Structure 1
Amino acid sequence: MIADVVRAEGAPGPTLVLDQGGLPRGALALRGELTALRRWLEETGRGRIHKIALVGRSPVASYDVDYRFVQCLPEPDGFDFRAGCGHSLLAAVVASGRRGPVRVRAVTTGDPVLCLPRPDGSYTVRLERAVPTAALLPTGRPVQRLCGLPVSLVRYGNPYVFVAARDLGLSSRDALFGAGAEVLARLLAVRAAAARLLGLPAGGALPKVAAVGASLPGRLTARAATVAGWHPGLALTGGLCLAAAREVPGTVPWLLSEGPHRRPWAAGDRERPLRLDTPSGPMLVSAAGSGRRLAHVAVHGKRARVLERSLPLPWRIHVTA
């Protein structure tokens, strides 16, 4: 078994990209194999790899590739098979070497994703799930209280919990980006409470959580937490979900982004851009739709590069197993 190591800009670490055609059916259920693989990564100085992507030709005619994601949790034998990761999806597309637009079926989340290469070498990553904006609220409520804070639970790709930075006592971008362990602990407590509300494991990777602040018109400030601490920037899925949440009346991002003055899309509206300020730099996202229906959401200008090509792995499973 061989793999590529690819890092997308803005990701907490690299992704190990495997060809799923080289694995037997049900191989991912064998956690012992994945645990042994993680141990080998640690022993060979690759312990920073906490994301695994499987990619292969899709059997569905409308897609080019299938993509499946595994998140390594802090426990040595801990894995989450429910989450999606946009940075790892882009890493898988770059590792595949495909040219031109690539239509990806994100098997883990069931989402259709289009990766569009740009002339400057970057990509636009577009999640093309068309839904009414009201359907993005898993509890049916735009705002509710968790751990004493008003929050919004929104599901577009990964489910996210959005908390207003001001409700955490953070009144500026510098205060948000400089927040330490105390604020992180509050966000993780909110995340755990949201997981219980959604029927998800409290120690898993979902839902994600991010603090959001108001900024200039057409801009928001965001900082997210990961399973291991503060995210260095904002997950690609976080940018997608935040752009979607901004279009749902009553949510925290909607209220922070001139909510009462925002209008629904008119027929034929173009993508509505949003610039996000994150600790690692700006992120440009956009959303498009009609009326109160979301058509797609995109993140623009994303890059990834191959760090290691054709890395031989000590995988003990054989395709005849």
Structure 2
Amino acid sequence: MLTRAFQRSLRTSHSSQHTVLRTCSNARSTSSSSQHSLPAAYYRGGTSRAVIFNRADLPPSQQEWAPIFRGAIGSPDPYGRQLDGLGGGISSLSKVCVVGAPSTHPAADVDYTFAALGVKNADVDFSSNCGNMVSAVGPYAVDAGLFEAHRDAQSAIVRIHNTNTGKIIHATFPVVNGEAAARGDLAIDGVAGTAAPIKLDFIDPAGSRTGQMLPTGGVRDRFDGVDATCVDVANPCVFVRADDLGVSGTLTPDEISATPGLLARLDSIRRQAGVAMGLASKPEDVPGSVPKIGMVSSPAEGGADGNNKRAVDLVVRALSVGQPHRAVPITVALALATAARLPGSTVADVTSSDPIDPAGITIGHASGKILVGATFRGGGGLEFATVFRTARRLFEGQIFWK
């Protein structure tokens, strides 16, 4: 789908440019007749990237989406590189989003459905939300004309209904000439450069899949002889202490993968936690994307800033779809901020009692740190959680698959 700005530029272009466009279009329809195609866009959202489809362009039945998504992303790829599609060979780059309007929820403007795709396998998993890619949904809705932003408006608030979890997220971001702004001064760890800030308010995020913030009924469980805390906030998550696994809390993603038996043990704990949380009846049926698992450790392991001051309140190394995450999934960060406030949890055990930023919890991850603000009700329930991210439109047009 062409943006309004691009449509305007086409209308005012020279006739020779139109001739080139017609020639390219004719060549494409002839040489690519064996391929399928649909309008699509490609966005970075936070520390992830995804192909985004307009819901109206896809088949009516979600059951028909999986082959399209696999072809677009390039999965499964036994070489693990997804060279025949737009995936990047790791879980944070093997994603698809579907955005549609009007929303099916009365409190939202658009619907957003997330799919996590396996890199080497054919999995197309709709069981979780992606908090990083949420940051791109509002800008996409504006750029694609699904949400009208007036040309003289300086900002937009898009209310997003995540169909995977049934939860509502409010995205607030600047707009320029009726389109989402790209330039700005916000830097986020894990992404080079700066961009326009996008404020994400996750409304009442607890119980995204299980209906409860503590789906096992308590703040501490035990799996494979290891203490764990199971929390369902934005996505179901399970947290274990790195010390209890006999490893450093500051391992790099590559070191996690290279540590003998560590990934297998974490997946075993994750699957047992999934059964305990009611996500499946047996470990082998637990989805690949939830619960997510993270190893937590004290801020002493997170290092210090240039003034030798403590830089974070706790440290996490998270896994997503079986792979060590290069930063931290936003939904994991939201769950951590909640678990840090639960006395007796494995996360509270390693969280500093003196936050370095009064606005929330500062979490150290493999690429830096992130601040998560959490607002609790008087009774202790989580009212909403806030993070700031950036996003950028990378391209839009037709995507092809065989």
| From 158, 166, 171, the counterpart of 1:115 | 171
| From 21, 24, 27, the counterpart of 2:56 | 21
Q: Equivalences for 1:179-190 in 2 at 5 Å?
A: 179=256, 180-182=258-260, 183-190=262-269
- Name the CA shift for 1:94/1:23 in 2 (closer, same or farther; >3 Å): same
Q: Find out whether 1:79 has 2:124 as its counterpart.
A: yes
Structure 1 residue 297, shift from structure 2 partner: 1.0
Q: Equivalences for 1:263-302 in 2 at 5 Å?
A: 272-291=359-378, 292-300=380-388, 302=389
> Which amino acid in structure 1 is aligned with residue 365 of structure 2?
T
- Name the CA shift for 1:314/1:66 in 2 (closer, same or farther; >3 Å): same
Q: Equivalences for 1:60-209 in 2 at 5 Å?
A: 60-96=105-141, 97=143, 99-117=155-173, 120=185, 121-129=196-204, 135-171=212-248, 173=250, 178-179=255-256, 180-182=258-260, 183-197=262-276, 198-200=278-280, 201-202=285-286, 204-209=288-293
| Aligned residue number for residue 339 of structure 2 | 245
Structure 1 residue 62, shift from structure 2 partner: 2.5
Q: TM-score, normalised by structure 1?
A: 0.83
Counterparts of 2:254 and 2:71, CA distance in 1: 36
Task: Verify the 8 A CA contact 2:274 2:291 in the aligned structure 1.
Answer: yes
Deviates more, 1:81-90 or 1:35-44: 35-44
Structure 1 residue 10, shift from structure 2 partner: 2.2
Counterparts of 1:223 and 1:189, CA distance in 2: 17
RMSD over aligned Cα atoms: 3.0
Task: Verify the 8 A CA contact 2:45 2:134 in the aligned structure 1.
Answer: no
Deviations 1:296-316 (A, max 9, x none): 11122x11122222233348x
Deviations 1:133-170 (A, max 9, x none): x9411110101111111000100111001011221223
- Name the CA shift for 1:109/1:203 in 2 (closer, same or farther; >3 Å): closer
Give the greater-gyration-radius structure (CA): 2
> Which amino acid in structure 2 is aligned with residue 204 of structure 1?
G
Counterparts of 2:346 and 2:42, CA distance in 1: 37
Deviations 1:108-156 (A, max 9, x none): 1011111122674111212111769x94111101011111110001001
Q: Find out whether 1:305 has 2:342 as its counterpart.
A: no
> Which amino acid in structure 1 is aligned with residue 294 of structure 2?
A
Aligned residues: 303
Counterparts of 2:99 and 2:85, CA distance in 1: 24
Q: TM-score, normalised by structure 2?
A: 0.68
Deviates more, 1:230-239 or 1:66-75: 66-75
> Which amino acid in structure 2 is aligned with residue 109 of structure 1?
T
Higher relative contact order (CA 8 A, sep 6+): 1
Counterparts of 2:46 and 2:163, CA distance in 1: 23
Task: Verify the 8 A CA contact 2:68 2:401 in the aligned structure 1.
Answer: no
- Name the CA shift for 1:21/1:282 in 2 (closer, same or farther; >3 Å): same
- Name the CA shift for 1:36/1:127 in 2 (closer, same or farther; >3 Å): same
Q: Secondary structure at the match of 2:156?
A: coil
Task: Determine what percentage of the aligned residue pairs are the same residue.
Answer: 25
| Aligned residue number for residue 21 of structure 2 | none
Counterparts of 1:186 and 1:40, CA distance in 2: 26
| Aligned residue number for residue 318 of structure 2 | 224
- Name the CA shift for 1:178/1:44 in 2 (closer, same or farther; >3 Å): closer
Counterparts of 2:221 and 2:47, CA distance in 1: 30
Unaligned stretches of 5+ residues in structure 2: 1-37, 77-81, 148-154, 175-183, 186-195, 300-309
Task: Verify the 8 A CA contact 1:170 1:176 in the aligned structure 2.
Answer: no
> Which amino acid in structure 2 is aligned with residue 208 of structure 1?
K
| Aligned residue number for residue 210 of structure 1 | 294
Task: Verify the 8 A CA contact 1:74 1:227 in the aligned structure 2.
Answer: no
- Name the CA shift for 1:248/1:311 in 2 (closer, same or farther; >3 Å): farther
